[in-house]
Structure 1
Amino acid sequence: MKAKIREWARRYLPAEVLSVVATLAGAGLTWHLFPGQELRAALAGTWAGNVAYFGWLLGQDVRQTRRHLRAAGRRYTRRTFGQNVRALAVEFGPAEVLDSLLIRPALMYWLPRLVGSRSGGILLAKLLADVTFYVPAIISYELSKKRLRRFEGE
């Protein structure tokens, strides 16, 4: 189990760090530009965090796949890129839909008000939303490794 936790931490932790920074920046910038627009700030924080998170993971998946294919003397193609995107969609699809459209924006809207701190509320919302996000995401990741993360030449 320790090996699995290390694998998940290597995969998700750098993306999480980027996502936290982007979430706070997105929400903070929106609060600054649109005072009193709490819902807009919650959505901006959610989506800024998503772009950073999934951008990092896709970049890492592409880099790893290129390395494997290059070692086997094969090229990385658009089709291979499609496989990377599809694997990511399967890994996060169900968890992400519920997370981005309902859970995370709702928590980011209400928790800053409830705790009396915008940054504190956003961070708490992010942590709570991550719990409901990672359980299905990790299950999907483990299931997708056998079918969707095997590329030509491996």
Structure 2
Amino acid sequence: MKKKWVEWAKRYMPAGIISSTATILSSVFTYKITLNHLTSALVGTWVGNIVYFGYMLGKDIFDTQKRLAQKNIQYSIKTFMQNIRALVVEFGFSELFDSFLIRPTLMYYFPIWVDDIWLGIILAKVVADITFYVPAIISYEYSKKKLRSFN
């Protein structure tokens, strides 16, 4: 099981760190400009998503290209679509609930409840990440077996 934890950390931690930074900074910056919790929550959610999934897609493309190059196989549009499909299977379910319900709701209410924008956004991010990663990891394990065989 330790091997799995290491694998998941290697897969998700870099994107999570970059995305967390983007989420927190964009959300707090937006709040400072607008003084609006809803706008802050939505901007933070979507900036974090763009950064997170941009990184994940880029990493998957890079890793796939590297594996294929070792076999003298070119990366193609078909391979790109396989990368996209695998990411949709891995994140689709958890991302729907996360982006449209859980994360923006938590990022709206936590800063109000704790009366501190920085602490509220950080707490919301941590709680939302827990609800996001559990189904994502389950789906990743499925997609790894069924959808990540590139030839």
- Point out where structure 2 has 5 or more consecutive residues left out of the alignment: none
Say yes or no: does 1:13 pair with 2:28: no
What are the superposed Cα offsets for residues 46-104 of structure 1, whole Å, 9 maximum, x if unpaired?
01111111111111100000001000001001111111011001000000000000000
Where does residue 39 of structure 1 map in the other structure?
Answer: 38
Aligned partner letter, 1:16: G
For residues 23 and 61 of structure 1, what CA distance do their matches in structure 2 show? Answer: 22
Q: Give a deviation string over 1:122-148, Cα, whole Å, max 9, x none.
A: 010011011111111000000011111
SS at match of 2:75: coil
Displacement of 1:28 after TM fit? 2.1
Counterpart of 1:59 in structure 2: which amino acid?
G
Partner of 1:78: 77
Cα distance in 2 for residues equivalent to 1:58 and 1:32: 31
Q: How does 1:53-68 map to 2 (within 5 A)?
A: 53-68=52-67
Superposed, which structure 2 residues align to 1:1-154 within 5 Å?
A: 1-35=1-35, 37-152=36-151
Which amino acid letter does the alignment assign opposite residue 53 of structure 1? Y
Counterpart secondary structure, 2:5: helix
Following TM superposition, the consecutive aligned residue runs of length 4 or more in structure 1 with deviations greater than 4 angstroms are none
Structure 1: which 5+ runs fail to align?
none
Please provide the CA RMSD for this pair: 0.8
Which amino acid letter does the alignment assign opposite residue 26 of structure 1?
A: S
What is the alpha-carbon distance in structure 2 between the residues aligned to residue 74 and residue 90 of structure 1? 24
2:150 match: secondary structure: coil
What letter matches 2:150 in structure 1? Answer: F
Q: What TM-score results when the alignment is normalised by the length of structure 1?
A: 0.95
